[in-house]
Chains A and B, each alone.
Chain A
Amino acid sequence: MERDLAKYWPVFVLPTVTAFAIGFLVPFAMGLYLSFCDFTTLSNATFVGLGNYVRAFEDSGGFTHALWYTALFAGVSTVLINLFGLTVALLLVRGFRGTNLFRTVFFMPNLIGGIVLGWLWQVILNYGVLARYGVTLVTSEWYGFWGLMAVMLWQQAGYMMIIYISGLQSIPGDVSEAAAIDGASAWQALRYVKLPMLMPSITICTFLTLTNGFKLFDQNLALTGGMPSNRSQLLALNIYDTFYGRAGWEGAGQAKAVVFCLIVVTIALVQLRLTRTREVQQ
Chain B
Amino acid sequence: MKKLLAVLSIALLVVGAVTIFSMAEDTAIPQPSASDAPAQTASPSVAGAGSVYYLNFKPEQSQQWQALAKTYTEQTGVPVTVVTAASGTYEDTLRSEMEKADAPTLFQVNGPVGLKTWRDYCLDLRDTALYRNLKSDDFALLEDGQVLGVAYVIETYGLIYNRTLLDRYMALDGAVIQSADQINNFETLKAVAEDIQARREELGVLGAFTSAGMDASSDWRFKTHLANLPVYYEYKADGITSTEAIKGTYLENYKQIWDLYINNATCEPAVIGAKTGEDAASEFALGEAVFYQNGTWAYADCIAEGLTDDDLGMLPIYIGVDGEEQQGLCTGSENFWCINKNAKPENIEATKAFLEWVITSDEGRDALANQMGFVTPFTTFDAGYTAHNALLDAASEDLAVGHTPVSWTFPTMPSEAWKNGVGAALLEYAQGTKEWSAVETAFVDGWASEYAAAKK
Q: Which residues of A contact B (CB under 8 A)?
A: 2, 6, 9-10, 13, 17-18, 20-22, 25-26, 29-30, 40-46, 60, 122, 126-127, 130-131, 134-140, 225-230, 244-248
Contact = CB atoms under 8 A, between A and B. Distances in A.
A119 to B, nearest CB: 11
10 contacts: A13-B12, A29-B21, A40-B95, A43-B27, A136-B274, A227-B216, A229-B427, A244-B91, A247-B454, A248-B117
Nearest to B16: A21
A103 B333 CA distance: 57
A136 B20 contact: no
B268 interface: yes
Contacts of A135: 270-271
B17 A138 contact: no
B120 A25 contact: no
Nearest to A46: B30
B424 A247 contact: no
Given A29-B17, A134-B271, A9 B415 contact: no
Given A134-B268, A139-B431, A227 B95 contact: no
Contacts of B98: 40-41
A45 B30 contact: yes
- The 4 A-B pairs with the shortest beta carbon distances in the complex, nearest first, are A138-B273, A229-B424, A136-B274, A126-B274
Given A43-B27, A43-B99, A45-B30, A139 B9 contact: no
A160 B9 CA distance: 35
A228 B428 contact: yes
Interface of B: 1, 5, 8-9, 12-13, 16-17, 20-21, 24, 27-30, 91-92, 95, 98-99, 113-114, 116-118, 120, 214-216, 268, 270-271, 273-274, 415-417, 420-421, 424-425, 427-428, 431, 433, 449, 453-454, 456
A208 B99 CA distance: 34
A227 B270 contact: no
Contact of A131 (B8, B114, B271, B431): B271
A130 B274 CA distance: 10
Contacts of B8: 9
Nearest to B35: A44
Contact of A21 (B9, B13, B417, B453): B13
B127 to A, nearest CB: 26
A42 B28 contact: yes
B270 A17 contact: no
A204 B417 CA distance: 40
Nearest to A143: B273
A46 B30 CA distance: 8
A17 B13 CA distance: 6
Contact of A248 (B13, B24, B99, B453): B453
Nearest to B99: A41
A125 to B, nearest CB: 9
A230 B27 CA distance: 37
Contacts of A10: 12
B21 A26 contact: yes
A248 B274 contact: no
Nearest to A140: B433
Nearest to B267: A131
Nearest to A28: B17
A132 to B, nearest CB: 11
A138 B118 contact: no
Contacts of A21: 13, 16-17, 20
Contacts of B433: 139-140, 228
B270 A139 contact: yes
